[in-house]
C-alpha cells in the first residue's frame, strides 16, 4: 500500500506579547537540524535534545522578561511549540497517532505516552531536588509540557523515576517525549490514508 503525503510537514509561528517575542520554525519530517536561541541556557540544551532525538528540524529564537523570572519565556515557548505541531501534523491521515517511549538516562528513567487526539490531557509525575537546573526553574519543566500539550491538542503523560541527578531526569524527559512524538507522527503503511480513529475526525 502506498501512502501519498505532503512532505515536509512544516509550521512557522510567531508570538509577540508584552512579555515575550518568539519565532519558531518546525519541520516534523526533518533530520534533527536545530538552531535554538533563548535566554535560558539549559532550556536551549533540552530543546536541542528534543530536536535531535525526534528528528525534527527546529529553529527557535526567543526573547523575554527573564531579568526577573523565567516563567513567561518558558511557558510561551511551550505554547508556540505546541501550536507548531498542531499546525504541521495536518489532518493526521495515515499517522500512528500514538507514541510511547521508555528512555534510560544514566541513573534516571523517563517514560512518555503521547496521543495526537485533538483533545487536551496531561499528567506529569517527576520530582526535582534543585530549585533550578542552570538558569531553568525546575517547576517550569511541568509547566512547559502542560502548555505544549494544551496547544498541540494532545494527550501527554510523562513520568520520571529512579533518578538521582536532576539534569539527567530533565534531559531524559525531553528525549523520551521527542521519541514518543516521533513515533506518533510517523506513518503507518497498513493504515494508508485513513484517519487513525473510528470517529471519522481527529
Domain residue limits, the chain: 10-185
* Residues 137, 113 contacting (CB under 8 angstroms): no
Overall CATH class of domain 10-185: alpha beta
Phi, psi of 136, deg, nearest 5: -100, 125
Q: pLDDT in tens for each of the 202 residues of the chain?
A: 344 455 689 999 999 999 999 999 999 999 999 999 999 999 999 999 999 999 999 999 999 999 999 999 999 999 999 999 999 999 999 999 999 999 999 999 999 999 999 999 999 999 999 999 999 999 999 999 999 999 999 999 999 999 999 999 999 999 999 999 999 999 999 999 999 999 988 8
Task: For residues 25 and 104, give the distance between their C-alpha atoms in angstroms, rounded to a whole number.
Answer: 29
Task: For residues 58 and 66, give the distance between their C-alpha atoms in angstroms, rounded to a whole number.
Answer: 22
pTM of the shown model:
0.95
Task: For residues 28 and 8, give the distance between their C-alpha atoms in angstroms, rounded to a whole number.
Answer: 7
| Three-class secondary structure of residue 48 per DSSP | helix
pLDDT at 24: 98
Amino acid at each position: 500500500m502506498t501512502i501519498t503525503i505532503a512532505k515536509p510537514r512544516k509550521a512557522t509561528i510567531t508570538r509577540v506579547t508584552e512579555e515575550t517575542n518568539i519565532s519558531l520554525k518546525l519541520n516534523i519530517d526533518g533530520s534533527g537540524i536545530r538552531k535554538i536561541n533563548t535566554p535560558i541556557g539549559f532550556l536551549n540544551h533540552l530543546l536541542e535534545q528534543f530536536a535531535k532525538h525526534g528528528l525534527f528540524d527546529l529553529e527557535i529564537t526567543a526573547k523575554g522578561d527573564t531579568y526577573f523570572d523565567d516563567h513567561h519565556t518558558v511557558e510561551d515557548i511551550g505554547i508556540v511549540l505546541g501550536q507548531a505541531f498542531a499546525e504541521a501534523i495536518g489532518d493526521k491521515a495515515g499517522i500512528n497517532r500514538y507514541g510511547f517511549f521508555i528512555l534510560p538516562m544514566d541513573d534516571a528513567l523517563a517514560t512518555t505516552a503521547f496521543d495526537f487526539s485533538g483533545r487536551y490531557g496531561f499528567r506529569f509525575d517527576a520530582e526535582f531536588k534543585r530549585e533550578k537546573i542552570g538558569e531553568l526553574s525546575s517547576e517550569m519543566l511541568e509547566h512547559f509540557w502542560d502548555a505544549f500539550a494544551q496547544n498541540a491538542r494532545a494527550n501527554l503523560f510523562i513520568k520520571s523515576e529512579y533518578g538521582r541527578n536532576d539534569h539527567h531526569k530533565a534531559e531524559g524527559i525531553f528525549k523520551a517525549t521527542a521519541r514518543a512524538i516521533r513515533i506518533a507522527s510517523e506513518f503507518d503503511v497498513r493504515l494508508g490514508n485513513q484517519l487513525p480513529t473510528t470517529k471519522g475526525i481527529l
